[in-house]
Amino acid sequence: MIKKSNILRRAGFTLMEIILAIVLISSVVMMVNSIYIFFARQIPSNKERYDMLSQIDYTLDDMRLRLVSASQVDKGSLFYLSPSSFSDIKQNFKFFGEKDIYKITPNDTTDNVWYEYRIERNNLILETTSADGSTKEILVNGKYKPQVTFEWYAGYEPNFFTVTITAQSTTNPPVKLSKTEGIHFWFVDVKQ
C-alpha cells in the first residue's frame, strides 16, 4: 500500500514544472507574435517602396523616350545662368516633340505635340497638347508627394540636364526615395 501512494504522488506535475512550461510557452508565443508583427509592417512598407520606385522609373523612362524627339523647348523651360550662379533649376519642363515616340520624323513637324512634365494637385503628370486637345497622364501618384527638378549646370552640354524625382511613402515612419538621371536630347538640334 505504501507503494501506491508514492505512485499517486508522482503522477502529477510539480509547481516548478508548470511554471517552467508557462514561461516556455509564453516565450514561444511572444516570439511568433513579434515575427508576425515584423512581417505585417514590412510587407506593406516594401510594397509601397516598390510601387514608388516603379512609378519613378516609369517616369524617367518616359522622359528618355520622349526627349529623344524634342525639336523645340518652350521659352519658360529654357535654362539660363545668372552671373552669380553655376546652375539653373526648373520645376517643370515643356517641349515640342514627336507624337509617336517610336516613329521619329525629323523633317516633318506636323505630327509633333507639346509635352509638359509638372506637378499638378500633388501628382507628377505629363500633359500632352495637340491640335486635337489636351490629355494628362499621372506618372507619380499624389499620395507619395512627388517633387521633380530639372537642373542644368554650367559646363554641361547644351543638350543635357539632370532630372531628380523624389517621393515619400505614406508608412510610419515615412521613407523618402529619390532618383536622379541625366537626360540627353539625342536626336535633334533644339530650337530656342
For residue range 99-132, list pLDDT tens digits in order: 988 888 878 888 899 999 999 999 999 999 998 8
Residue 68 lies in a domain: yes
**Looking at the predicted structure, is the pLDDT value of residue 143 above 90?**
yes
Residue 65 lies in a domain: yes
- Residue 72's Cβ-count burial label (10 Å; 0-12, 13-18, 19+) is middle
For a pLDDT cut of 90, what percent of the chain falls above it?
51
Q: Domain range for residue 54?
A: 48-184
Chain length of the chain: 192
Residue 131 lies in a domain: yes
Residue 36 lies in a domain: no
With beta carbons less than 8 A apart as the criterion, state whether 177 and 166 touch.
yes
Residue 119 lies in a domain: yes
Residue 109 lies in a domain: yes
The structural domain count of the chain equals: 1
Residue 90 lies in a domain: yes
Q: How confident is the model at residue 70 (pLDDT cuts 50, 70, 90)?
A: confident
